[in-house]
C-alpha cells in the first residue's frame, strides 16, 4: 500500500510530526531551501554558463526570469525525496506558513514533479491536534506568496550584484550592498554622527531631603520660584538659590493623589521577542531565533513524545486563538485566583497589513504547561526563553494593575521673602494585576525608572517638615545612545524596513561584512561604514532612503495579497537603477571617495598627506604614493599612547636579517614589529600581548591576545598549534574560590569561572 509523503524543512520538525501522523505517512525534511539563484557560474550546466545573464542568475531582458539551480549541498536531499515520492500517491507540503515556506514548497513541486495529488497544509504550532487538523484541511500552494518571495529574492539579487561591484571599484574589494542591510548601516552611521556632533548642555538641580515629625525621610526636587518654573543653567545660579534657602521653613503646600491603571504589553511578535530577549536575557537576535526554532519544532518531554512548545516564531500578528484565550483564563484562575482574571479576553489589534497577519502571536502551545514543570527537559537557554514567552502571554490576559500616584508640593519660605516650591512624587501598588507575573523592560532608562516603585511617607497639607540637607547636582545633557541589536530591530520595524525573518540575518551580515562592530553590546560603525554610506546617500539616494525601502516592503506585501504583480514592480525599479549604476561608474572618482585632504606634510618627501581608507580603517598616506610609500596611523589619542608605549618597550629590538631598528606598526591582526628598512627588508615579528595566565590545558604556554581574520579579539595558547586552547573572553589571574578553575571577565564588573560557572562581582 502506497504511503503519503509529507515534506517539512527540518529533521527536528520531521521527527516530531512523524510521531503524530503514524505509519501511513513518511515525513521527510528538505533542509530548508532546495533551489536558489546561482552563487557562481560553476553551479550551472555548460549550456547555462553561456547565457548572457549566467553570472547574475536573472534574465533582466525577459521579465526577470530567474535561473534557479539546485546547490550541491541539496542534491543528495533531492535524490532521497525523488526516491520516496515514487512510492507515494499523495504529497503534502508542510513547510512554514510564510513567504519563504510557500516558496520552498513551490520549488519542491517544480523539482519533484509528483504524479499524484499535491496538497498544502499549514499550522501555527507543532502539536498533534494542529497537525491532524491541518491534514484534514489542505489547500493549494499560494502563488501570490511565492511571487512575493521571488520578487524580494530577485530584487535583492539585482541590488547586491549590480551595486556591490561599483563599491569594489570605488572603495575596496569584498564590500557588499543590500536593499535592507545598507539601510540598517545608514541608521547606525546616522546615530553615530549625532553622537559625535552632540554638544552637551550644562544644567543644575537642587534636591531637598526632608523629614517628617515621625523622622521619615524622603526626597524632593526644586521646580518653581513662586509660580514660575525655575531653570538653573550654571553653578552661580544654583549658589544664589542655596543662599536664598538658608534658614527657610518647609511645609506641605498641596497633595495630589490619583489612581493610575496600567495595561500589560501585547503578546510577542518576532521583533518584540527579539527586543525583550535582548534586554531581559542578554540574547543576540540570532540566538533568540535559534532557541525559539528549537522550542517551535519540538522537544521531548518526560513521559511523552516530542512536541512543539511554542507557536510559529516568525510573525507580525498579535492575535491569540480562542483556545489560547480560554486556557489563559483557566490557568490564571488556578494560579492566582479570580481577581486576576478578566471577564472577557483582552484583544490586541495588529498594525501590520502583511500576509503573516494570518498567524498568531508567539505563545506557548499549552499555557497549562508551566515553565517549572518542563524545566528538567530544557537546557538553560530554552527554559529562560520559554519562561519569558509564557509570562508575557499570561500577563496579556490578566487584570490591569492599579497604582496610587502621589504628587506632593512643598513650600520653602525663605528669610528673604521668596517662596520656592519643591516636588516629591511616588507611587504605591494598590493591586498588582498583571505585574504579579510580568513587567516589560525598556531601553530608555527614564521609562525603566517609571516602572520602579517609589514610596512616600504619609503626609498632610500644611504639615511642617524639617530639612535634612540640600543637594545641588550638576547635569549635562546626554547624546542619543548607540543602537543595540534590540533597539535597531525596534527602529527598523517602526520604519517599516524588512520583515520578521530578515532582522537576524541582516544584523549578522553587516557585522560579518565589517561595517559594524559590537562594543559592550552596542553597535558601532567602522570607517568603511561611513564611507560606503556617504557614497550611497550622495549617489544612490533611494537605496538607503528609509521611506523608499519601506514603500518597497509595502509593495511586496501587496504582491503577497494579490493586489500587485511582481514583474512590473521590478521593471519600475530596475530600469532607472541600472542607468544610474552606469552613469555613476563613469562619474565617481575613487580618490574622491577614499581620500581626504589634510594640512599635514609628508616628513620624507614634503608632499601633502591624505587620509586614505584601508582594510583596517583610515590612515595617513603620502599623496606622492607609489613613489613615496610613507604612511602612518591616523591620529588617535588612545592608539597613539599604546603605540608609544610599545615602541618604548621594544626600543632595543633589531632586525635579525639586516640589523636595522624594528618599529611598531599596526596591521589587520593588531600591532606587530617591522623592519625600519621596509620594503627593502620585509622582516616582521609578532608582538605577544600576555594575559598573565598560564594555559590550563598544556600548563606550559601563556594565554595571549589574538585576533581572528576579521579582527575580532580572542585569547589562545602561545603554544598553538600544538595546544589549541582558546576562549573569547579575557582571562583573569585570580583562580575561582570555589573550584580553583580559570575565571574570565564575563561582563562589566563581573568575573565568571569557566569550569563551575560561579560569578563574582569586581
Instruction: Evaluate whether 173 touches 159 at the Cβ level (below 8 Å).
Output: no
3-class state of residue 416 by DSSP:
coil
- How far apart (Å, rounded) are the C-alpha atoms in residues 543 and 552? 10
Grid cell at residue 549: 525601502
Of 651, 314, 694, the C-alpha closest to 505 is 314
Q: How far, CA to CA in Å, does 419 sit from each of 227, 253, 458, 464, 577?
A: 9, 11, 23, 15, 67
- How far apart (Å, rounded) are the C-alpha atoms in residues 341 and 400? 10
Of 151, 30, 152, 43, the C-alpha closest to 95 is 30
Question: ∠395-280-100 over CA atoms, to 5°?
Answer: 80
Of 11, 489, 6, the C-alpha closest to 294 is 11
Query: Within its chain, how far is the Cα of 190 from the centroid?
Result: 17
Which of 264-287 are b and which e, b meaning 16 or more Cβ less than 10 Å from the residue's Cβ? bbbbbbbbbbbbbbbbbbebbbbb
3-state secondary structure 565-623: CHHHHHHHHHHHHHHHHHHHHHHCCHHHHHEEEEEEECCCCCCEEEEEEECCEEEEEEC
Please confirm, yes or no, whether 312 is among the known catalytic residues. Answer: yes
**What number of CA atoms fall less than 13 Å from residue 197's CA on the CB side?**
6
Instruction: Kindly name the residue from 312, 340, 386, 438 that is annotated as catalytic.
Output: 312
3-class state of residue 678 by DSSP:
coil
Decide: residue 479, CB within 10 A, 0-12 exposed, 13-18 middle, 19+ buried: middle
Catalytically annotated residues: 312
Amino acid at each position: 500500500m502506497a504511503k503519503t509523503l509529507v515534506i517539512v524543512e527540518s529533521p527536528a520538525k520531521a521527527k516530531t510530526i512523524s510521531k503524530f501522523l503514524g505509519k501511513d505517512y513518511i515525513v521527510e525534511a528538505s533542509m530548508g531551501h532546495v533551489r536558489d539563484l546561482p552563487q557562481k557560474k560553476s553551479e550551472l550546466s555548460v549550456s547555462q554558463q553561456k547565457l548572457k545573464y549566467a553570472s547574475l542568475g536573472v534574465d533582466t531582458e525577459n521579465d526577470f526570469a530567474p535561473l534557479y539551480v539546485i546547490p550541491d549541498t541539496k542534491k543528495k536531499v533531492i535524490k532521497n525525496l525523488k526516491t520516496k515520492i515514487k512510492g507515494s500517491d499523495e504529497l503534502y507540503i508542510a513547510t512554514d506558513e510564510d513567504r519563504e515556506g510557500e516558496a520552498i514548497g513551490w520549488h519542491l513541486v517544480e523539482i519533484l514533479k509528483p504524479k499524484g495529488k499535491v496538497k498544502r497544509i499549514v499550522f501555527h504550532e507543532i502539536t498533534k491536534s494542529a497537525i491532524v487538523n491541518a491534514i484534514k484541511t489542505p489547500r493549494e500552494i499560494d502563488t501570490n506568496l511565492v511571487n512575493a518571495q521571488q520578487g524580494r529574492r530577485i530584487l535583492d539579487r539585482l541590488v547586491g550584484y549590480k551595486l556591490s561591484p561599483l563599491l569594489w571599484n570605488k572603495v575596496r574589494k569584498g564590500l557588499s550592498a543590500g536593499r535592507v542591510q545598507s539601510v540598517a548601516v545608514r541608521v547606525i552611521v546616522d546615530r553615530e554622527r549625532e553622537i559625535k556632533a552632540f554638544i552637551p548642555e550644562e544644567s543644575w538641580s537642587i534636591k531637598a531631603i526632608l523629614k517628617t515629625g515621625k523622622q521619615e525621610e524622603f526626597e524632593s526636587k526644586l521646580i518653581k520660584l513662586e509660580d514660575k518654573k525655575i531653570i538653573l543653567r550654571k553653578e552661580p545660579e544654583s549658589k544664589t538659590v542655596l543662599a536664598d534657602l538658608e534658614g527657610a521653613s518647609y511645609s506641605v503646600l498641596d497633595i495630589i493623589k490619583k489612581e493610575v491603571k496600567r495595561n500589560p504589553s501585547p503578546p510577542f511578535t518576532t521583533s518584540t521577542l527579539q527586543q525583550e530577549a535582548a534586554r531581559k536575557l542578554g540574547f543576540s537576535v540570532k540566538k533568540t531565533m535559534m532557541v525559539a526554532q528549537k522550542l517551535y519544532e519540538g522537544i521531548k518531554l518526560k513521559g511523552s513524545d516530542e512536541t512543539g512548545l511554542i507557536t510559529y516564531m516568525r510573525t507580525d500578528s498579535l492575535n491569540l486563538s480562542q483556545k489560547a484565550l480560554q486556557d489563559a483564563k483557566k490557568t490564571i484562575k488556578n494560579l492566582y485566583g479570580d481577581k486576576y482574571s478578566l471577564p472577557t479576553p483582552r484583544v490586541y489589534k495588529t498594525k501590520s497589513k502583511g500576509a503573516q497577519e494570518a498567524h498568531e502571536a508567539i505563545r506557548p502551545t499549552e499555557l497549562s504547561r508551566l515553565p517549572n514543570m518542563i524545566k528538567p527537559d530544557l537546557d538553560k537557554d530554552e527554559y529562560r526563553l520559554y519562561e519569558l514567552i509564557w509570562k508575557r502571554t499570561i500577563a496579556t490576559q490578566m487584570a490591569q494593575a492599579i497604582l496610587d500616584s502621589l504628587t506632593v508640593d512643598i513650600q520653602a519660605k525663605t528669610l528673604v521673602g521668596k517662596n520656592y516650591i519643591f516636588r516629591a512624587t511616588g507611587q504605591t501598588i494598590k493591586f498588582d494585576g498583571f505585574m504579579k507575573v510580568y513587567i516589560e523592560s525598556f531601553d530608555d532608562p527614564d521609562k525603566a525608572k517609571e516602572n520602579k516603585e517609589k514610596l512616600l511617607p504619609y503626609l498632610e497639607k500644611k504639615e511642617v517638615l524639617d530639612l535634612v540637607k540640600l543637594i545641588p547636582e550638576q547635569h549635562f545633557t546626554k547624546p542619543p545612545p548607540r543602537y543595540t541589536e534590540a533597539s535597531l530591530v525596534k527602529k527598523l520595524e517602526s520604519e517599516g524596513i524588512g520583515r520578521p525573518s530578515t532582522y537576524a540575518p541582516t544584523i549578522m551580515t553587516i557585522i560579518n561584512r565589517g561595517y559594524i562592530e559590537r562594543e559592550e553590546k552596542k553597535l558601532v560603525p567602522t570607517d568603511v561604514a561611513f564611507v560606503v554610506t556617504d557614497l550611497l546617500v550622495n549617489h544612490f539616494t533611494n537605496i538607503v532612503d528609509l521611506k523608499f525601502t519601506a514603500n518597497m516592503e509595502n509593495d511586496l506585501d501587496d504582491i503577497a495579497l494579490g493586489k500587485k504583480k511582481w514583474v512590473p514592480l521590478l521593471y519600475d525599479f530596475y530600469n532607472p537603477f541600472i542607468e544610474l549604476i552606469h552613469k555613476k561608474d563613469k562619474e565617481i572618482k575613487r580618490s574622491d571617495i577614499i581620500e581626504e585632504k589634510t594640512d599635514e606634510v609628508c616628513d620624507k618627501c614634503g608632499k601633502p598627506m591624505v587620509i586614505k581608507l584601508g582594510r583596517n580603517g583610515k590612515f595617513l598616506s603620502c599623496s606622492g604614493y607609489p613613489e613615496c610609500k610613507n604612511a602612518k596611523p591616523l591620529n588617535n589619542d588612545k592608539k597613539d599612547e599604546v603605540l608609544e608605549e610599545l615602541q618604548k618597550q621594544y626600543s632595543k629590538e633589531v632586525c635579525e636579517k639586516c640589523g636595522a631598528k624594528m618599529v611598531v606598526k599596526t596591521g589587520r591582526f593588531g600591532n606587530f614589529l617591522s623592519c625600519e628598512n621596509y620594503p627593502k627588508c620585509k622582516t616582521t615579528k609578532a608582538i605577544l600581548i600576555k594575559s598573565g595566565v598560564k594555559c590550563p590545558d598544556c600548563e606550559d604556554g601563556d594565554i595571549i591576545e589574538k585576533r581572528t581574520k576579521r579582527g575580532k579579539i580572542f585569547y589562545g595558547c602561545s603554544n598553538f598549534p600544538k595546544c589549541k586552547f582558546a576562549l573569547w573572553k579575557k582571562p583573569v589571574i585570580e583562580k575561582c574560590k570555589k573550584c580553583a578553575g580559570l575565571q574570565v571577565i564575563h561582563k562589566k564588573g563581573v568575573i565568571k569561572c569557566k569550569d563551575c560557572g560561579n560569578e563574582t562581582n569586581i
